[in-house]
Chain A
Amino acid sequence: MTWDEMAPLLWQASGESAVMVAWSTLFTVLFGLPLGVALVVLDRGGLRPMPALKSVLGFLVNSGRSLPFIVLMIAITPFTRLVAGTTVGTAAFVVPLTVGAVPFFARLVETALREVGPDVVQAAQAMGASRLAVVRKVLLPEALPGLVAGLTVTVVALIGYSAMAGTLGGGGLGDLAVRYGYQRFETALMIVTVVLLIVIVQLLQSLGDRVARRLSHK
């Protein structure tokens, strides 16, 4: 294959990957951030201890994380159909990608929030801050560098997941690699795809690191 043949394929596949990763990142943050906050707030010794509910959430998160993504993706097909109306195409795969990444990101959020010292939380409570104010004005801003680092790791994981989604009809770079690299032995395209993935992940990771460092005032 010549470069002129490869370029449009790569361009389209990258676009599909980007769409899948972007939307699932958005939904992952939307659901994973509150879930991570809940894991900390509801815990024993948290702002609003409800250990039973915390155990249930913890169990769900662990269950989500114990399935390999490719198994999870197949297992939740009925749910995907329910939410997206279809199980094929790039848009449909945002559902399993989000379901796969939410527990992962929630755990990272939990870890980042636990890094915030109990002394600043108590100081805020001593100043009369409500629980909501403690979460919004203390926990989240203080944990921001850790949250950004966690988000970076999550996006990288989502790129990996999205390649698997490609093999089941989601399109994107994974799909390209399977169809051309694996089934047609187009080694050149395979190499370009691999290099492209490596470059994208490196760029994302260093961007994430830089933002996290900029936000950290330790």
Chain B
Amino acid sequence: MGYVVIQASGLRKQYGETVALDGVDLHVREGEIFGVLGQSGAGKSTLLRCVNLLERPDAGTVTVAGQDLTALRDRELNRARQRIGMIHQHFALLSSRTVAGNVAFPLEVMGVPRAERRRRVAELLDLVGLGGRAGARPHQLSGGQKQRVGIARALAGNPSVLLSDEATSALDPATTQSILSLLKRLNAELGLTILLITHEMNVVKSVCDSVAIMSSGRIEESGAIADLVRTPGSRLTREIFPLPEPPPPGSVTLTFTGDPGRSLVSEVVRKFDVDVSILGGAIEELAGGAVGRLRVSITGAESQAAVAHLSSAGLLVEVAQ
């Protein structure tokens, strides 16, 4: 993970009485897929639109690739925006243009000569798997194909950063997965940094390296997913796993990443004078690897020693009071 590509500090935005952003800080590192998760109305859309200044924050600064966008004049801002790709929930394609014409749009705006434009458009359409549809009109395409056009268009200026505004929310589950894998592939192959906002945990689970959970204009929790799942009381972990909350008093919740390497539960039962009964659990595939969460009740004379043993074995152990 490289340096911070997108840095937002102290963002505030208010619409009349409604506070959309209430002091938001965001750090997105080069090459990562960063998800902002929240319900509608949480302010995540405003946050994303503040990153390329489609919305101007009332207070705070936004720096992208080392450039303070909030300090730029119109013309310089337009130039900076050409290096920030954006994809949209409802695709926002121009119905007056063909697929190729849509992808050519940002290149025209940048003043790329015609011959170069043609070459680049063909290349971009191949990249997103739409090589054969250059002459089609947007209304002839399926939702997934439209979003692929949106992605090709967003990549035209060789952006350092891609902003994704609920890009899969209008798509069915299978298409969502194909678009997510495309984003993942572009992230891996081009080293593209992606900042996406979504209300779907599934999107975060399948592609994100880092996440910020937003509600009422504030970021409640943020960090690398691999770190968050090891943090006691993490909201992300609670929301990912289908275990009842709050946990029953006295129950023990174990979170482990990857393969624990040994059968810890049977080991505990053998070593200590305890009974272990399983209350619930699940294993989730996250972008960084599998994470398991198991809720058990440990009873018997040596239950405290057993819990201590699990802790020392590298598991995150949370004992409900």
Q: Which of A11-19, A32-40, A125-133 contacts B (4 or more CB under 8 A)?
A: A125-133
CA distance A95 to B106 in the complex (A): 42
Q: Does B205 contact A (CB under 8 A)?
A: no
Contact in complex: A128, B79 (CB < 8 Å)? yes
Contact in complex: A120, B106 (CB < 8 Å)? no
Jot down 21 A-B pairs with beta carbons below 8 A, ordered by A: A120-B93, A120-B94, A123-B88, A126-B52, A126-B163, A127-B105, A128-B77, A128-B81, A129-B105, A130-B75, A137-B109, A138-B94, A141-B94, A141-B97, A142-B96, A144-B96, A217-B96, A217-B137, A217-B138, A217-B139, A218-B139
Contact in complex: A127, B96 (CB < 8 Å)? no
Q: Which 5 A-B pairs have the closest CB atoms?
A: A123-B92, A128-B81, A128-B82, A141-B96, A128-B78
B82–chain A nearest beta-carbon distance, Å: 4
Q: Does B84 contact A (CB under 8 A)?
A: yes
B residues near A (Cβ < 8 Å) are: 52, 54, 74-75, 77-82, 84, 86, 88, 90, 92-97, 105-106, 108-110, 137-139, 153, 157, 163
> Given that A119-B90, A141-B94, A217-B138 are known contacts, is A127 also in contact with B81, CB under 8 Å in the complex?
yes
Q: Is the interface of A mostly helix, strand, loop or mixed?
A: helix
Q: Does A124 contact B (CB under 8 A)?
A: yes
Q: Which chain A residues lie closer than 8 Å to B92 at the CB level? A: 117, 119-120, 122-123
Contact in complex: A119, B88 (CB < 8 Å)? yes
Residue in contact with B95 in the complex, picked from A123, A124, A129, A142, CB distance below 8 Å: A142
Contact in complex: B81, A126 (CB < 8 Å)? yes
Q: Which chain A residues lie closer than 8 Å to B90 at the CB level? A: 119
Contact in complex: B139, A126 (CB < 8 Å)? no
A122–chain B nearest beta-carbon distance, Å: 6
A189–chain B nearest beta-carbon distance, Å: 46
Q: Which of B75, B92, B108, B157 has the most CB of A within 10 A?
A: B92
CA distance A125 to B153 in the complex (A): 13
B98–chain A nearest beta-carbon distance, Å: 9
CA distance A142 to B163 in the complex (A): 24
Q: Which residue of A lies closest to B81 (CB)?
A: A128
Q: Which residue of B lies closest to A130 (CB)?
A: B78
Q: Which residue of B lies closest to A131 (CB)?
A: B74
A113-166, CB < 8 A from B: 117, 119-120, 122-130, 133, 137-138, 141-142, 144
Contact in complex: B106, A128 (CB < 8 Å)? yes
CA distance A86 to B32 in the complex (A): 73
A21-78, CB < 8 A from B: none
> Given that A122-B92, A124-B105, A137-B108 are known contacts, is A129 also in contact with B78, CB under 8 Å in the complex?
yes
Q: Which chain B residues lie closer than 8 Å to A117 at the CB level? A: 92
B152–chain A nearest beta-carbon distance, Å: 12
Contact in complex: A137, B105 (CB < 8 Å)? yes
Contact in complex: A123, B78 (CB < 8 Å)? no
